[in-house]
């Protein structure tokens, strides 16, 4: 049942692990900040974000997309590990995250207005996408090799 290729999207395990990953990222950002204020780099603009800025933790590749891709091979708990791998979780401005929603970043950026209005840095964004894809593939291969 867990690996039913037709099971509906389910994010309970994803969200539980996402909460833990966000807490770890926040602690690391506080250390980077050095002054008690979190310090991040926006994964799509390359800009520095500090605690108090309006940012969100972001799944670069959406949890739903990853779930639907791997639900025939992985359990919900395994998918949660893949979705929340360090390469797929980053920080971006809330305005970008809300505008993008569940869209693939490549589809969202097909609208030039999004790139211009949100000051998207194509090099930073491409690096984040490539890194997320590599991290997801690595995590999936690691899980599947144990089976």
User: 91-105 pLDDT, tens per residue?
Assistant: 999 999 999 988 999
Taking a C-beta distance cutoff of 8 angstroms, is the pair 130, 61 a contact? no
Which residues are paired to 57 by β-bridges? 91
3 within a domain of the structure (yes/no): no
Residue 6 falls inside a structural domain: no
What burial class does residue 51 get, using C-beta atoms within 10 Å of its C-beta: 0-12 exposed, 13-18 middle, 19+ buried? middle
| Residue 91 DSSP SS3 | strand
Interval 35-49: pLDDT, tens? 999 999 999 999 999
pLDDT at position 49 = 96
Number of domains in the chain: 1
Residue 86 lies in a domain: yes
Kindly state the DSSP code that residue 51 receives in the 8-state scheme.
B
- On the question of pLDDT at 19 being above 50, the answer is yes
Of the pLDDT bands very low, low, confident and very high (cuts 50, 70, 90), residue 2 is: low
Is residue 44 in some structural domain?
A: yes
Query: Is the distance from CB of 110 to CB of 122 less than 8 angstroms?
Result: no
- Assess contact for 143 and 78: CB atoms under 8 A: yes
At 130 the pLDDT is 98
Residue 115 resides in a domain: yes
Residue 43 is assigned to a structural domain of this protein = yes
- What's the pLDDT at 3? 73
* pLDDT above 50 (res 1): no
Q: Residue 87 belongs to what domain range? A: 12-145
Q: Is residue 70 part of a domain?
A: yes
């Amino acid at each position: 049942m867990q690996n039913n290729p037709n099971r509906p999207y389910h994010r309970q395990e994803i969200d539980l692990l996402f909460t833990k990953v966000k807490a770890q990222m926040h602690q690391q950002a506080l250390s980077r900040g050095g002054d008690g204020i979190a310090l991040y780099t926006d994964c799509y603009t390359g800009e520095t974000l500090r605690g108090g800025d309006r940012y969100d933790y972001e799944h670069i590749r959406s949890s739903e997309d990853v779930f639907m891709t791997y639900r025939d091979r992985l359990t919900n708990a395994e998918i949660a590990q893949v979705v929340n791998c360090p390469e797929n979780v980053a920080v971006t401005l809330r305005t970008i995250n809300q505008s993008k929603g569940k869209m693939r970043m490549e589809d969202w950026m097909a609208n030039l207005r999004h790139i211009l209005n949100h000051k998207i840095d194509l090099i930073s964004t491409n690096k984040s996408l490539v890194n997320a894809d590599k991290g997801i593939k690595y995590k999936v291969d690691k899980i599947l090799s144990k089976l």
